[in-house]
Protein backbone atom coordinates (compact mmCIF):
# COMPACT_ATOMS: atom_id res chain seq x y z
CA UNK A 1 0.00 0.00 0.00
CA UNK A 2 1.21 3.51 -0.81
CA UNK A 3 1.23 6.78 1.12
CA UNK A 4 -1.39 8.22 -1.25
CA UNK A 5 -3.76 5.44 -0.16
CA UNK A 6 -3.40 6.27 3.54
CA UNK A 7 -2.80 10.02 3.71
CA UNK A 8 -5.33 12.61 4.68
CA UNK A 9 -5.91 15.10 1.90
CA UNK A 10 -7.27 17.62 4.39
CA UNK A 11 -4.18 19.82 4.70
CA UNK A 12 -4.49 22.75 7.04
CA UNK A 13 -1.99 25.40 5.98
CA UNK A 14 -1.33 28.34 8.27
CA UNK A 15 1.09 31.23 8.22
CA UNK A 16 4.05 31.79 10.52
CA UNK A 17 2.28 34.66 12.31
CA UNK A 18 -0.69 32.59 13.45
CA UNK A 19 -0.72 32.39 17.24
CA UNK A 20 -0.61 29.03 18.95
CA UNK A 21 -4.20 29.53 20.05
CA UNK A 22 -5.29 30.19 16.46
CA UNK A 23 -3.41 27.12 15.26
CA UNK A 24 -4.90 24.97 18.02
CA UNK A 25 -8.41 26.24 17.30
CA UNK A 26 -8.10 25.48 13.57
CA UNK A 27 -6.58 22.04 14.19
CA UNK A 28 -9.22 21.19 16.79
CA UNK A 29 -12.08 22.25 14.51
CA UNK A 30 -10.79 19.91 11.81
CA UNK A 31 -9.89 17.14 14.28
CA UNK A 32 -6.31 16.93 13.00
CA UNK A 33 -3.00 16.72 14.83
CA UNK A 34 -0.75 18.81 12.59
CA UNK A 35 -0.74 21.85 10.36
CA UNK A 36 1.58 22.83 7.55
CA UNK A 37 3.21 26.21 8.17
CA UNK A 38 3.97 28.04 4.95
CA UNK A 39 6.27 31.02 5.12
CA UNK A 40 5.95 32.96 1.85
CA UNK A 41 9.10 34.95 2.67
CA UNK A 42 11.21 31.80 2.65
CA UNK A 43 9.01 29.75 0.29
CA UNK A 44 9.44 26.95 2.77
CA UNK A 45 7.11 24.52 4.43
CA UNK A 46 7.29 23.43 8.04
CA UNK A 47 5.00 21.60 10.41
CA UNK A 48 3.48 22.34 13.79
CA UNK A 49 1.84 19.58 15.76
CA UNK A 50 -0.45 19.30 18.73
CA UNK A 51 2.58 18.13 20.71
CA UNK A 52 4.47 21.35 19.84
CA UNK A 53 1.56 23.42 21.13
CA UNK A 54 1.20 21.29 24.25
CA UNK A 55 4.90 21.66 25.08
CA UNK A 56 4.74 25.44 24.65
CA UNK A 57 1.62 25.88 26.78
CA UNK A 58 2.87 23.39 29.37
CA UNK A 59 6.08 25.37 29.76
CA UNK A 60 4.11 28.53 30.53
CA UNK A 61 4.27 30.26 27.15
CA UNK A 62 1.28 32.43 26.22
CA UNK A 63 -0.71 30.85 23.37
CA UNK A 64 -2.12 34.28 22.47
CA UNK A 65 1.29 35.83 21.82
CA UNK A 66 3.49 32.90 20.79
CA UNK A 67 3.48 32.41 17.03
CA UNK A 68 3.61 29.28 14.95
CA UNK A 69 6.97 30.32 13.48
CA UNK A 70 8.63 29.96 16.87
CA UNK A 71 7.38 26.39 17.29
CA UNK A 72 7.49 25.14 13.71
CA UNK A 73 9.74 22.27 12.74
CA UNK A 74 11.47 23.46 9.58
CA UNK A 75 13.89 20.57 9.17
CA UNK A 76 11.11 18.43 7.72
CA UNK A 77 11.22 15.05 6.03
CA UNK A 78 8.73 15.06 3.19
CA UNK A 79 7.08 11.96 1.76
CA UNK A 80 6.05 11.34 -1.82
CA UNK A 81 2.60 9.91 -2.58
CA UNK A 82 4.35 6.95 -4.21
CA UNK A 83 6.28 5.95 -1.09
CA UNK A 84 5.24 2.66 0.45
CA UNK A 85 3.78 2.76 3.94
CA UNK A 86 6.86 0.87 5.06
CA UNK A 87 9.07 3.70 3.78
CA UNK A 88 6.92 6.27 5.58
CA UNK A 89 6.95 4.26 8.82
CA UNK A 90 10.73 3.87 8.58
CA UNK A 91 11.20 7.63 8.10
CA UNK A 92 8.95 8.35 11.10
CA UNK A 93 10.73 5.83 13.29
CA UNK A 94 14.15 7.07 12.27
CA UNK A 95 13.23 10.74 12.75
CA UNK A 96 11.15 10.28 15.90
CA UNK A 97 8.03 12.01 14.60
CA UNK A 98 4.41 11.06 13.91
CA UNK A 99 3.49 13.08 10.80
CA UNK A 100 4.90 13.46 7.30
CA UNK A 101 3.92 16.19 4.87
CA UNK A 102 3.25 14.61 1.48
CA UNK A 103 4.57 16.69 -1.42
CA UNK A 104 3.70 16.27 -5.06
CA UNK A 105 4.94 18.96 -7.41
CA UNK A 106 5.20 22.36 -5.78
CA UNK A 107 3.27 21.86 -2.60
CA UNK A 108 1.63 19.68 0.00
CA UNK A 109 -1.10 17.32 -1.15
CA UNK A 110 -1.59 15.49 2.11
CA UNK A 111 -0.33 14.50 5.52
CA UNK A 112 0.24 10.93 6.61
CA UNK A 113 0.33 10.08 10.29
CA UNK A 114 1.23 7.06 12.33
CA UNK A 115 -2.50 6.62 12.95
CA UNK A 116 -3.16 6.55 9.19
CA UNK A 117 -0.56 3.83 8.71
CA UNK A 118 -1.83 1.75 11.62
CA UNK A 119 -5.37 2.06 10.28
CA UNK A 120 -4.21 0.57 6.97
CA UNK A 121 -2.20 -2.19 8.59
CA UNK A 122 -4.84 -3.24 11.13
CA UNK A 123 -7.64 -5.43 9.82
CA UNK A 124 -11.10 -4.04 10.44
CA UNK A 125 -12.68 -5.58 13.50
CA UNK A 126 -16.24 -6.83 13.35
CA UNK A 127 -16.69 -6.58 17.11
CA UNK A 128 -15.50 -3.85 19.45
CA UNK A 129 -12.51 -4.71 21.57
CA UNK A 130 -13.38 -5.26 25.23
CA UNK A 131 -11.20 -3.27 27.57
CA UNK A 132 -10.29 -5.08 30.74
CA UNK A 133 -9.65 -2.67 33.54
> Phi, psi (5° rounding) for residue 17?
-95, 0
pLDDT digits (tens, 9 = 90+) for 90-126: 999 999 999 999 999 878 999 999 999 999 998 765 5
Asked if residue 57 has pLDDT above 60, the reply is yes
DSSP for 37-100, written as a single string = EEETTTTEEEEEEHHHHHHHHHTT--TTT-BHHHH-B-SPPEE-TTSBHHHHHHHHHHHT-SEE
Whole-prediction pTM value? Answer: 0.84
Amino acid sequence: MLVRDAMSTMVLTIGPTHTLRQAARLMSARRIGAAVVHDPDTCGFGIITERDILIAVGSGQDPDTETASTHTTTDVVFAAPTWTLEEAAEAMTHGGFRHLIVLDGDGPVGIVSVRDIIRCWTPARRHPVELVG
